[in-house]
Structure 1
Amino acid sequence: MKRKQQMTQTRQAILSAAKQLFAEKGFEGTTIRAVAVRAGVGTGTVNLHFPDKISLLGEAIYEDIEAILQRHSLPEGAPLDVRLGELVRPLFEYYARQPALSRVLVKESLMMRGQWGQRFDQQLQTFTGSMKRELLAAQGCGELDPGYPVSTLIEALLAYYIALVIEGLRSEKPEPAELVKRFRRLVSLHTVVGPKDNKGK
């Protein structure tokens, strides 16, 4: 048990060192040797946990985003724009907390292929799956036009979300609250007037 705990701590130290260096030097400027020195371990130890630099970067992104996607909770009964706003809020806040690292993560992850590309595609499916459930629920209660193709709306919302992430990270100080507000504004443009239960109140 002690050995397993030590390996977990070493792995986390390596990931923490890698995140710091990616933020400071970018992906290309970071080396496995530099990560090992920062983490206080040998290069062989880094390679034991992560076979290459792509794996280091992939794990750094994947674990954080996975935790966000798994713990999000949307307010039941709230308007569609509020629910979808709460879906993207923790992601905007995550990127804003560490903009230097996030610029590297977003830039590199968009073009990842192979195993990590597949894993990020799965995360994207989880994200858009949550969107789809909310949009279908909104159609069911009359908040969203039932004739509107949900797949088309998901594509539009996803494209706008990515554009907002990039715009936020290009600014000196990302403002997640403002990004959420703008995302909600786009959602509200597609809603009718609100859930049928709220009409006339």
Structure 2
Amino acid sequence: MINSDARREALLEAVQLAAGERLTDDTGDPADEAYNRAIDDVIAALTAAATGAAEAPTTVPCFLANPHHPHGAHDWAPQPGMTPVRCPGGPAGGVTVTACRYEVSLLPVDNINHAIYAIGVEHRGGDRWAVVRQRECLGADGTWSWEPIPSERGGEWLAAHCFDLDTALRLARAAAPHVTVNGRSAAQVASGL
């Protein structure tokens, strides 16, 4: 059995971790707003459990583990040792299929080197798309930089690295010939050099 001080400390640590998952940019996207409301609900449940509040919520969406994905109602424990709460389920409507990644490469799909020279164009919420390759994102200025975790992507970083789909695909197409692996560019591989 976990002693009460250790349990309280673990719950307060979970509150801090959950708070770090809040999206900080005001995108106006209803999915982002729902995500932040779910995070707030989780924080309230954890805080209530840590402080022994009598009014701990019994219904808390499980958005930390399953953001924006349709799923049925279920019980879950926001923190090990907590009394389980009820998740009302994700967005209604059954199964959702979403195109969330495009692959851009100078090499055809049946080329054995296609995958290692490919650039991804990945959905980042709302109408935002990022041009990615091996955990790096292509900026509007044409340079690649390490992609931070979502809670550390500030407005300036998002403005420089997330685009509408047409712009992201245009940038990926322009960058594709210059992808280099072991000193050989995609253009060299495609031309047989």
Larger-Rg structure: 2
Same fold (TM over 0.5): no
Indicate the structure with greater strand content: 2
Indicate the structure with greater helix content: 1
Q: What TM-score comes out, normalization by structure 1 length?
A: 0.30
